[in-house]
Amino acid sequence: MTPGPGPAAPRTPLPLVLAGARGHGRWHLENIRRLQQAGRVRLVGICELEPLAGAELDGLGEPAQSADFAGLLDATGAAVAVICTPIPTHADLAVAAAARGVHLLLEKPPAPSYADFRRITDAVAAAGVACQVGFQSLGSHAVPAIRALVADGVIGASMGVGAAGAWARDEAYYRRAPWAGRRRLDGVDVVDGVLTNPLAHAVATALAVDGSPRADDVTRVDTELFRANAIESDDTSFVGIATARGGRIGVAATLCAERPDEPYVIVHGTQGRITFWYKQDRVLVQRAGHGPEEVLHGRTDLLENLVDHLAGRAELLVPPASTGAFMKVVESIRRAPDPRPLPVEAWRSVPGEHEGVRRRIVHGIDGLVAASADTLCGYAELGTFWALPYGAPAARPPETPAPAPEHRVGSAVPDPRSGGG
């Protein structure tokens, strides 16, 4: 159980250690710099294999630096640790911090397996420390606003939630670290797939908007995992999630898009739908008898929320329990058969972002991902030839995404990309 806010305390800068300051950790470093300038935190330590220097430390003073995370916590007396290290290291570092009474902001995904997730939650509970999981989209004020719209019946009865993510990553993305694109490394779980890491927010946000964030809220997860790239993990996938209250969530994503676009979540109702572009905090409501209504919401930074929580001014927005359902999905992907390689006729290679680097595009995948979010159907149900069981005939050429079937969810209103997308 996450500790509730205690008595209000003065705003004194909290001593903080950052583990992982490069790669995505640079975003955290900038955020810490912002909060340090505001007097909310004080960076006292950086855990990195190669120390930071020069402009990287501008405005941050002279924090201690070491590759020994536990030793750094002991030496600095840090009250908070931000962990943005490779996925397989999360559990060990989180447990080490909790054992020292250090509160946590733990980057997503919190762990590569449900067993490691339980190690973290048990350690946090035993130590009585606060832990925030870094799903930044769950700090969006749009999430409770959408839940209120659904509860008020604005789009009628809920018929399910779809999510779509069409991004592009070239070969360099999979060369950035030994664990990139791996399911396991040296016998240790990694599970670095499209839905568990780069587009994990699509899964977690869909679950949150549906009101099914906890482990007990998920009763079944069906997976379709594929890869166009020469990697071990999946880069083009679908998960169908059944919820305890009888709901249905479908999430389709790819890193092989032809034209990368903003990921989004759709709540389908009997009288309309709500589309949420979660990176932009943008919500579009479309319902019968009304014109489209678009609202741009604010967002609460998760580290700032953690600091406020420790001062007794706020409840945690993303405690570990609220990511239990997401971890049930991660576990289902981890336990699923290895992703099926796509046949060469299903994709093509084009120049990547950098000279001499290529990236792979799956034919028609942009339309397939969108159709999945519209219908909550997986690639196989949409008739995609490469997703059908081996030996089954292809329903249509690979270049043409399947049209939405007749039982299309939310068909009473226009497609969101025609109005506010």
14-129 CATH pick, 3.40.1640.10, 3.40.50.10150, 3.40.50.300, 3.40.50.720: 3.40.50.720
Q: What pLDDT is recorded for position 389?
A: 83
Region(s) of the chain under CATH 3.40.50.720? 14-129
The three-state (H, E, C) secondary structure of the chain, written as one string: CCCCCCCCCCCCCEEEEEECCCCCHHHHHHHHHHHHHCCCEEEEEEECCCCCCHHHHCCCCCCEEECCHHHHHHHHCCCEEEECCCHHHHHHHHHHHHHCCCEEEECCCCCCCHHHHHHHHHHHHHHCCCEEECCHHHHECHHHHHHHHHHCCCCCCEEEEEEEEECECCHHHHHCCCCCCCCEECCEECCCCCCCCCCHHHHHHHHHHHCCCCHHHEEEEEEEEEECCCCCCCCEEEEEEEECCCCEEEEEEECECCCCCCCEEEEEECCEEEEEECCCCEEEEEECCCCCEEEECCECCHHHHHHHHHCCCCCCCCCHHHHHHHHHHHHHHHHCCCCEECCHHHEEEEECCCCCCEEEEECCHHHHHHHHHHHCCCCCCCCCHHHCCCCCCCCCCCCCCCCCCCCCCCCCCCCHHHCCC
Q: What is the pTM of this model?
A: 0.91
The list of the chain residues with pLDDT below 70 reads 1-10, 390-421
Contact residues for 236 (Cβ-Cβ < 8 A; gap 6+): 194, 226, 227, 228, 253, 254, 255, 256, 342, 362, 365
Region(s) of the chain under CATH 3.30.360.10? 152-298+336-418
Q: What pLDDT is recorded for position 355?
A: 86
Per-residue pLDDT tens digits for 89-107: 999 999 999 999 999 999 9
163, 388, 391 from 385: Cα distances, Å? 22, 6, 10
Q: What pLDDT is recorded for position 411?
A: 39
**Top CATH class, 152-298+336-418:** alpha beta
Q: What pLDDT is recorded for position 409?
A: 56
